[in-house]
Amino acid sequence: MNSKPIIVAPSVLACDFNYLGAECERMEKAGADWLHLDVMDGHFVDNISFGPPIVQSVAKVATVPLDTHLMVERPDHFFPRFIPYSSNITIHVEPDYDVGNTLKSIRAARATCGLAISPPTLFEKVEQFLDQIDLLLVMTVNPGFGGQEFIEETMFKVKRAAALRARLGLDFHIAVDGGIHADTAAIARASGANVLVAGTGLFRAADAVRAIKELRDL
């Protein structure tokens, strides 16, 4: 099912923020491919995480691409503030704004664009955008908090996306985010996901090198 290489993206939300730079370096040394940054505005989700200054701080130390996940009510308004630091910007399909136009604007600003879908949202909502994205982020928990349990029912979206990608000759990454550990990563990989975002499972692991290898099934 997997036509693309496995990419492991530690979610910085789960790091020890007293040591932000060192924590990011620790994940890079352990084998991370990207760093994932969860921006929450207290409106789209019931939590507030961090904004541009933290992403900028990570960008100063990072040598791997930064993958910014905007869980905000107005992605169209806020994405430009993250452009200077991000390789990829992922926006959610659920808020009320012009999704297609925002995806285009992200690419025009020389970043790749991702589209995220929350567990309760119908897959049909993202279907029309599949030929305009570089990454589809299938949320495997309800967005807002780290440390939640993987919702296996979301795997039909991963499978559907992989099938449509093959049928339409498209090339986007399929990412999963939330509750990813060795066992759930295996389920996600078997379903067709190639980008594995993990917070708790990596930052809180006793052995990060091993935890990253396990996500890749090495």
Residues in touch with ligand DX5 (CB under 6 A): 11, 13-14, 36, 38, 69, 141, 143-144, 146-148, 177-180, 197-201
Structure tokens at 204: 């809180």
Q: Interface with Zn ion includes 157 (CB under 5 A)?
A: no
Which residue sits closest to Zn ion, CB atoms considered? Answer: 69
Task: Give catalytic status of residue 38 as yes or no.
Answer: yes
In three state form, how does the secondary structure of 6-53 look? CEEEEEHHHCCHHHHHHHHHHHHHHCCCCEEEEEEECCCCCCECCCHH
Query: Nearer to ligand DX5 by C-beta: 8 or 133?
Result: 8
CB 193 within 8 A of CB 175: yes
Query: Nearer to Zn ion by C-beta: 3 or 44?
Result: 44
Provide the pairing of β-strand 88-92 with 135-139. unpaired
Question: Which residue of 26, 69, 92, 165 would you call a contact of Zn ion, by CB under 5 A?
Answer: 69
Question: Which residue of 76, 134, 177, 214 would you call a contact of Zn ion, by CB under 5 A?
Answer: 177
Q: How far apart are CA 83 and CA 94, in angstroms?
A: 21
Task: Give catalytic status of residue 16 as yes or no.
Answer: no
141 binds, among Zn ion, ligand DX5, none (CB under 5 to 8 A by kind): ligand DX5
Q: How far apart are CA 126 and CA 95, in angstroms?
A: 13
Using DSSP's 3-state secondary structure scheme, residue 114 falls into strand
Structure tokens at 69: 């996940």
Residue with tokens 């979206």: 157
Query: Nearer to ligand DX5 by C-beta: 28 or 170?
Result: 28
Closest distance to ligand DX5 from the beta carbon of 42 (Å): 13
75 binds, among ligand DX5, Zn ion, none (CB under 5 to 8 A by kind): none
